[in-house]
Structure 1
Amino acid sequence: MTNPTRGWVSWSSGKDAAFALHTVRETRAVDVVGLLTTMNAATRRVPVHAVPHALVQAQADALGLPLHTVDLPWPCPNDIYEARTNEALTAAGRAGVERLVFGDLHLRDVREYRERSIADSGVAPMFPLWGRPTAELAAEMLRCGLRAVVTCVDPAQAPAELAGRWFDEAFLDGLPDGVDPCGERGEFHTFVVDGPGFTVPVDVAVGPPVERDGFVVAELAAR
Structure 2
Amino acid sequence: MTGAGQAERARPQPVVVSWSGGKDSTLMLERLLHDEHVVVRALLTTVSTVYDRVSIHGVRRSILRAQAASLGLPLYEVALGAHSSNDDYEAAFRRGLRTLEAAYPDTRVMAFGDLFLEDVRAYREALLARLGWRGVYPLWGEDTAALARTFVRRGYVATLTCVDTQQLDGAFTGRRYDDALLDALPAAVDPCGERGEFHSCVTDGPLFAQPIAVVPGERVLRDERFQYCDLVELGPERSGSAASGA
Bigger helix fraction: 2
Per the TM alignment, residue 116 of structure 1 is displaced from its structure 2 partner at its CA by: 0.9
Structure 2: gaps (5+ residues): 1-6, 235-246
Runs of 4+ in 1 over 3 A off after TM superposition: none
The residue type paired with residue 27 of structure 1 is: D
Equivalent pairs counted in the alignment come to: 223
Cα pair 1:37 1:67 within 8 Å, conserved: yes
Matching residue within 220, 223, 229 for 1:210? 220
Q: Which amino acid aligns with 2:84?
A: C
Aligned equivalent of 1:8: 16
Q: Map of 1:149-188 to 2, 5 A cutoff? A: 149-188=159-198
Change (3 A) 1:72 1:139: same
Q: 2:167 touches 2:189 (CA, 8 Å); kept in 1? A: yes
Any conservation in 1 of the 2:16–2:42 contact (CA below 8 Å)?
A: yes
Q: What is the identity, as a one-letter code, of the residue corresponding to 2:62?
A: A
| Selected match of 2:140 from 115, 130, 136 | 130
Q: What does residue 45 of structure 1 align with?
A: 53
Q: Percent identity?
A: 43
Name the counterpart of 1:200: 210
User: Do the aligned partners of 2:49 and 2:80 also contact (CA within 8 Å) in 1?
Assistant: yes
1:92 aligns with 2:100: yes
Residue 31 of structure 2 corresponds to: 23
- Conservation of the 8 A alpha-carbon contact between 2:11 and 2:37: no
Matched, 1:61 2:63: no
Query: 1:107: which partner in 2?
Result: 117
Q: Unpaired segments of 5 or more residues in structure 1?
A: none
Q: In 2, Cα distance between the equivalents of 1:125 and 1:77?
A: 22
Q: Which has the higher contact order (CA 8 A, sep 6+)?
A: 1
The whole-number CA distance in structure 2 between the counterparts of 1:108 and 1:145 is 30
The residue type paired with residue 27 of structure 2 is F
**TM-score normalised by the chain length of structure 2:** 0.87
Residues 107-146 of structure 1: CA deviation (Å, up to 9, x unaligned): 0000001111121222211100000010011011112122
Q: In the alignment, which residue of structure 2 is the partner of 1:74?
A: 82
The answer as to whether partners of 1:206 and 1:220 remain within 8 angstroms in 2 is yes
Distance in 2 separating the partners of 1:4 and 1:14: 26
RMSD across aligned positions (CA): 1.2
Distance (whole Å) between structure 2 residues aligned to residue 143 and residue 104 of structure 1: 20
Q: Check conservation: 2:51, 2:82, Cα contact below 8 A.
A: no
- Compared with structure 1, are the counterparts of its residues 209 and 121 closer, same or farther at alpha carbon in structure 2 (3 Å cutoff)? same
SS in 2 for 1:118: helix
| Distance in 2 of aligned mates of 1:62 and 1:23 | 17
Task: Name the CA distance, whole Å, in 2 between partners of 1:13 and 1:76.
Answer: 21
SS of corresponding position for 2:42 = strand
Indicate conservation of the 8 Å contact 1:102/1:128, yes or no: yes
**Which of structures 1 and 2 has the bigger CA Rg?**
2
